[in-house]
Structure 1
Amino acid sequence: MTTSTGTDAGLVAAEDVLLFVNAAITATGQREFRSTAYEQQLSLDFLHEYVRVNYRRVYAAALALDINDHNAALIVRGLLEHAADASAEERRTEGRLIAARLAKLPPQRVYRLFRALRAARVNNRRTRAIMRDWLAARPDPAHDAVKYRSGLKTAARHVHLRFGGTGEPDETGDFLFRPGHRTSYRHGLLDAWRRAHYEQGAVEELPFTVAEGFAARRGMKREVFLERMAPRMTRLERLRTLGQRAAGDDARLPADVDLTVMPLTRLALYVLSLGFEARSAHRAELTRALRTAARRAAGPHAGGWGRVAAVLDDSYSSSGSGEKRRRPLAVALACHFLLEALAAPGAYTPLWTSGRTDPLLVRPWGPTPLGTRVLDALELGPDRLVIVSDGWDNAPPGLAGEVLRVWRTRLDPDRRTAVVHVNPVYDADGFDVRRLAPSVPTAGVRDAEDLPALVEIAGFAEGRTGAAALYAYLDRQVARFVSDDGAGAAS
């Protein structure tokens, strides 16, 4: 990835890259605490177009980073819609990146992307080849025909896909395009869908999301339906239903789900969905599960960060929005347990903005006195200070930035304490995550599990390593991503 690195233009380009990466990690186009969904979408659309036009190779390289699925799909669409703007070499690299990223995306997201490409009349040869390759790699077309019927139907029409082979019955094609043509299907799932229209027992043979619709039409009780469908639910579907089964203080932990295997941030969201009494009653189980997930996320970095202090934002704004309910607080809670695992044994100090000391009972409440908490943390003399906040320092406003400026310029110019700010909220007005101080690197964060990698990316924002190091890092990530043989199709 060649670009000017020894000039002001190179530094500006590096800043633009970091800005886009932060947005691609945190922004999903949904409503946030301080901005509407429309403002989020408008800001994100502008940023995507700006980076695609000015830094196309960087734009494509972002597919190799830990960006969220929403932005990954937007990048793929942008690259395919504007394929004529790329050179032959760029198209080859982009094709490999797109294929690798699509294999990691949830299939419903990919089918949604294919529908958008068809609606936008993107019908070039490369697009059709990418769609055909992805469809060919799906393990069971009949399963997709039942679970993602409209998506598969649209994609098949767009690429003129033929189902079945020589001498094989075209059951999937008949199911999609000639409903009612067959009185029965040899494939069990296709036939279960047919029978489910008049036979209640067949509903339980269908994928969970499809069976939900039939159950609702038949008036089945939700609790009974979930119990019967448990053996056929995927792990992620079980996790998604936990919140529905965990309302109130008298909630019981599910016996059919092993909390210790849940991803850290998703587990934190589940814990916060429980009432205070439920959290207290199951304190040992929940804490053990959170610490197990944190140690798994820390991996080889466990215990290697020395003395760590954390300022964790549990102010009212951490409640998020209707679309992202309590997500900022969940990220802070997950980071708390992850930082505990990353720090040397007994060398971790958490400081919540509310002053609470029990992480399991945190709730979004009160103002955001970041400055005071940052002062408390720096007085401990840690090797590393991590601030997890949306950056709205308001008690009093601007104190955290001034404390960090004085600390960096006068008290610790040699950077004995590494300071990093991770922000889970995209600021639509600023086209970036909100920063606390120019002297402190800020990285966007969506899942706490990505914290070690994000700290590395945030280090480029300090300007000490130079733009060349950032582009070399992106090149390494692209090479690793496209050569990852373990990347399979998402189920």
Structure 2
Amino acid sequence: MSELVAAEDVLLFVNAAVTATGQREFRSSAAEQRLSLGFLHEYVRVNYRPLYASCLALDINDHNAALVVEQLLRTPGEAGDGEGRLVAARLARMAPQRVYRLFGRLRETGVNNRRTRAIVREWLAARPDPALDAVKYRSGVKGALRHAHLPPADAETGDFLFAPGKRVRYGNPTLEAYRRAHYDESAVYALPFSVAEGFAARHGVDRKVFLERIAPRMTRLERLRTTRTAGPGADLRGMPLTRLALHVLALPFAERAERRGELTGALRAAALRAAGPYAGSWGRVAAVLDDSFSSSGSAVKRRRPLAVALGCHFLVEALAAPGAYTGLWTSGGTDPLLVRPDGPTPLGLRILDALDGGPERLVIVSDGWDNAPPGLAGEVLRVWRSRLDPERRTAAVHVNPVYDAGVFDVRRLGPSVPAVGIRDAEDLPALVEIAGFAEGRTGLTELRAYLDRRVADFLAGHGEGEKA
């Protein structure tokens, strides 16, 4: 029993770490989210530290990965074997601005032990272009160097950061472009977009002209963020599935219909990439997808739950055998490209429709607030599992894109079907594997073995990345 409780505690934390970002959700404030997450991190670190550190190898989001790293570095006296490698591997995969923000928090809280300085030193040494970092993340780089008592990467970068008026010109083209951009408009277009944007405004450059000239320096995501739409000629096929779904949902209905072939093709291509070797291996699959009003998310996470559901629709279609997929939206709609967050959540009725076809797998994508009528989904699943399918011929999983701060977990439909948190639709295949542990039939030993395997794969991938 104690092992089952421990496994449930760790899985509860994994659900939170995959889903929650400390931001406002549809039914809870940012303060409630942060308070709930803070308690969970402290509880799991104190009671299950080796497993807590192992979660860095899972598909938890970067917000929680940074919190895990911070907790581990703040308590060096409790450190276990291999923690340093895990921390280094996870930081190498995180966006640099998040890592610099983490280093800033460590500085503010006075965390400056030997292990922390070593982690900062190794991460900075691995940065491919220190001059670019100095320009793009200037305050973060300065703070990290000062906190860890480290010298700059070279003399020019050091002067740029700590003695900006010392040099008349720089040999490094990025540093020189930054110096010249203060008075020369042409130098603006040799800088990263996020830096060039401020200089363009200072020079009074027309926004449209600036975006046209800076386009070669912009990433695909920056191009999508700075225009209302990516024109019909834009290449969307390299976009990650959930980001692409968010982009599609931000388009007007008329444009979605007009570009139906292009957008559907891009979504299916992204889903196939996410499915990888699992494509076509799931047999007959039915999915119940929540497009009720609560899927609109919040002001800071607009349409995120609906985007996850749309991404899962195309991903499950790719995972199912050809022609063996049925997608059912709670609204009753049949056109996934024109979904919108509206109406109640009749999950129970849609689950009945899904089970009527006798699928081998049932995937439910919802925030779990079944309200038309309330509780029907849980009762349907209970009766179905206990009376109609006790042999578990149909594998079922509930993936929930919304963290419920009040219960320190994602909201569940009932004990009959495991529930796991999800942030990005492309993580669905890995989360379905974790859902097997959430059914309560396995204990801590099996979960520990699974985490050990994920850690080994994670560190092996980091080693290959370093060699490359």
Which of 347, 353, 357 is 2:324 aligned to?
A: 347
Residue matched to 1:477: 454
Which of 76, 79, 83 is 2:69 aligned to?
A: 76
Task: After TM superposition, list the pairs within 5 Å mapping 1:457-468 onto structure 2.
Answer: 457-468=434-445
Which of 332, 348, 354 is 1:371 aligned to?
A: 348
Instruction: Give CA deviations for 1:450-487 in whole Å, capped at 9, x if unaligned.
Output: 10000000111112333321111001011111122244
Q: Give the conservation status (yes or no) of the 8 Å contact 2:130–2:153.
A: no
Gaps of 5+ in 1: 1-7, 247-251
Task: After TM superposition, list the pairs within 5 Å mapping 1:244-393 onto structure 2.
Answer: 244-246=227-229, 253=231, 255=233, 257-393=234-370
Residue matched to 1:3: none
Instruction: Tell whether 2:83 aligns with 1:94.
Output: yes
Q: 1:291 to 1:136 in 2, by over 3 A?
A: same
Residue matched to 2:426: 449
Residue matched to 2:13: 20
Residue matched to 1:193: 178
Residue matched to 1:57: 50
Instruction: Tell whether 2:221 aligns with 1:240.
Output: no
Percent identity of paired positions between Structure 1 and Structure 2: 74
Residue matched to 2:160: 175
Instruction: Tell whether 2:35 aligns with 1:46.
Output: no
Instruction: Give CA deviations for 1:58-106 in whole Å, capped at 9, x if unaligned.
Output: 11000000000000000000000011123xxx1x411000000000000
Supply the distance in 2 between the matched residues of 1:429 and 1:486 (Cα, whole angstroms).
Answer: 41
Partner SS for 2:287: strand
Task: After TM superposition, list the pairs within 5 Å mapping 1:101-112 onto structure 2.
Answer: 101-112=90-101
Q: 1:164 to 1:309 in 2, by over 3 A?
A: closer
Supply the distance in 1 between the matched residues of 2:65 and 2:213 (Cα, whole angstroms).
Answer: 35
Q: What one-letter code is carried by the residue in structure 2 that aligns with 1:284?
A: G
Supply the distance in 2 between the matched residues of 1:488 and 1:322 (Cα, whole angstroms).
Answer: 39
Offset of residue 163 of structure 1: 2.6
Residue matched to 1:414: 391
Aligned-residue CA RMSD (Å): 1.3
Supply the distance in 1 between the matched residues of 2:404 and 2:466 (Cα, whole angstroms).
Answer: 34
Supply the distance in 2 between the matched residues of 1:380 and 1:305 (Cα, whole angstroms).
Answer: 15
Residue matched to 2:29: 36
Q: How many residues align?
A: 466
Q: What one-letter code is carried by the residue in structure 1 that aligns with 2:205?
A: M
Supply the distance in 1 between the matched residues of 2:153 and 2:231 (Cα, whole angstroms).
Answer: 45
Residue matched to 1:228: 213
Gaps of 5+ in 2: none
Offset of residue 357 of structure 1: 0.1
Q: Give the conservation status (yes or no) of the 8 Å contact 2:308–2:401.
A: yes
Supply the distance in 1 between the matched residues of 2:421 and 2:438 (Cα, whole angstroms).
Answer: 12
Supply the distance in 1 between the matched residues of 2:232 and 2:356 (Cα, whole angstroms).
Answer: 43
Residue matched to 1:121: 110
Instruction: Tell whether 2:124 aligns with 1:131.
Output: no
Instruction: Give CA deviations for 1:124-143 in whole Å, capped at 9, x if unaligned.
Output: 00100110000001111111
Which of 374, 378, 381 is 1:401 aligned to?
A: 378
Q: What one-letter code is carried by the residue in structure 1 that aligns with 2:346?
A: P
Q: What one-letter code is carried by the residue in structure 2 that aligns with 1:419?
A: A
Supply the distance in 2 between the matched residues of 1:188 and 1:279 (Cα, whole angstroms).
Answer: 42
Offset of residue 234 of structure 1: 2.4
Partner SS for 2:428: helix
Instruction: Give CA deviations for 1:223-252 in whole Å, capped at 9, x if unaligned.
Output: 2222111101123323433xx322xxxxx6
Q: Give the conservation status (yes or no) of the 8 Å contact 1:163–1:173.
A: yes
Q: Give the conservation status (yes or no) of the 8 Å contact 1:146–1:190.
A: yes
Partner SS for 1:443: strand
Offset of residue 161 of structure 1: 1.6
* TM-score, L = length of structure 1: 0.93
